[in-house]
Amino acid sequence: MSVTASTPSFADDTPGRAPGLVLGIESSCDETGVALVHASGQGVPRLEAHALHSQIEMHQAYGGVVPELASRDHIRRVLPLATQVLAAAGRSLAEVDVVAYTRGPGLAGALLVGSGVACALGAALGRPVLGVHHLEGHLLSPFLSADPPEFPFVALLVSGGHTQLMRVDAVGEYQILGETIDDAAGEAFDKSAKLMGLGYPGGPALSRLAETGDPAAFKLPRPLLHSGDLDFSFAGLKTAVLTQARKLGDALESRKPDLAASTQAAIVEVLLKKSMAALRQTGLRRLVVAGGVGANRELRQRLNAACLVARVRVHYPELHLCTDNGAMIAMAAAMRLQSGRAQAGRDYSFDVRPRWPLDAIDT
Ligand code: KG4
Ligand code: ZN
């Protein structure tokens, strides 16, 4: 890839200005994602192209993500993906106005790859760079869909590492209403799947198996369902699944679809009930679901049905943009810049934030 700088198509870095063409790089875990989003006015920024390389196959042999392997693979993939995205959009690197990257949370080594490449590109092009919060990327990913939401809304953020309910009033205005006190919903899927021998990542495998099972076959706990608050707890569920699997012994093999369906039903019921409670509590009539678990078909069907009855509009990211991708990072950067919540900078030194709570996003 050759790097030739030219005059930026936007005049300066004034906060709130439409940022123009944003190149986004995601490398926080086991997916390398690169995308181009264009924001020319105050309307919803438009996705021009995105490309993704998933490392799932590479990590499968180990039953989970191996951080060192993840970092090395991001190094191999990120520039070829950027070239691919520019070609798909019919753009040259010189047209990029801002380079955005995932600053955290995530695996430190993996984050360093995307941050390093983004800052090097920014420096070479003389363009400003912006570090983005990975969860804000997920949260704003439904704005990439054909029917984007409007503020304010309740957000159910269900990724591999986080489960949170939020009140979202605008870009950067996030009030956490409840969150998990231990495992995330994605972890509950992944850990239950692992102990059923379904491999990694467990969520999609478990939900596929659940399609042929009976969700009422096993009585599994619905942690904190009646706690009266909006917090979650999923650690006890995986222990209950383990106990049930041990009890089944040799019968486990033939009962796996039933156990998978029962596990999924327990997770989905808690997510559903707490989301509806958050809507009642805030009085809001719009729900946004984001993060990898948002791809779960059962969760979508149950939420759609409940929201129809409650006259609530529900928005999801497109299925292929539920899990990690570069489009959500470019989008979050474009929306932050457009709203004036952030300013891209020309200081090309960088640090990553492997742990970075969403309510500390401006720190
Ligand atoms: O948002 P994400 O890509 O990564 C994080 O930021 O953590 O979410 C990954 C999580 C994994 O736990 C994966 O098992 C889960 O999303 N997942 C699913 C489905 N697709 C992905 N869980 C349930 N059903 C699915 N269809
Ligand atoms: Zn993610």
Question: What is the C-alpha separation between 5 and 102, in angstroms, rounded?
Answer: 23
- Is this prediction's pTM over 0.75? yes
Please give the pLDDT value at position 14.
67
d(CA 193, CA 198): 5
Residue owning the nearest CA to atom 26 of ligand 1: 296
Short-list 293, 263, 289, CA closest to 193: 263
**What is the number of the ligand closest to the CA of 162?**
1
Provide the residue-wise pLDDT of the chain in tens; the chain has 363 residues. Answer: 655 544 444 434 566 778 999 999 999 999 999 999 999 988 999 999 999 999 999 999 998 999 999 999 999 999 999 999 999 999 999 999 999 999 999 999 999 999 999 999 999 999 999 999 999 999 999 999 999 999 999 999 999 999 999 999 999 999 999 999 999 999 999 999 999 999 888 999 999 999 999 999 999 999 999 999 999 999 999 999 999 999 999 999 999 999 999 999 999 999 999 999 999 999 999 999 999 999 999 999 999 999 999 999 999 999 999 999 999 999 999 999 999 999 999 999 999 999 999 999 998
CA distance linking residue 300 with residue 56, whole number of Å = 24
Write down the pLDDT at residue 46. Answer: 97
> What angle separates helix 297-309 from helix 252-282, to the nearest 10 degrees?
30
In 3D space, the residue among 211, 165, 162, 214 whose CA is nearest the CA of residue 183 turns out to be: 162
Distance (Å) from CA 65 to ligand 1 centroid: 13
**Distance, first Cα to last Cα, the chain:** 34
Alpha helix segments (H runs only) across 234-325 = 235-248, 252-282, 297-309
Q: Are 9 and 95 in contact (CB under 8 A)?
A: yes
User: Which among 332, 339, 334 is positioned nearest to 317, based on CA atoms?
Assistant: 332
Question: Distances in Å between the alpha carbon of 322 and those of 1, 55, 213, 297, 315?
Answer: 29, 16, 25, 12, 12
CA of residue 132 to ligand 1 center, whole Å: 20
Q: If we measure between CA atoms, which residue out of 9, 5, 42, 271 comes closest to residue 158?
A: 271
Residue 17's pLDDT is 78
Listed residue (7, 18, 26, 288) closest to 165, CA to CA: 288
Q: Residue 218 C-alpha to ligand 1 middle, in angstroms?
A: 23
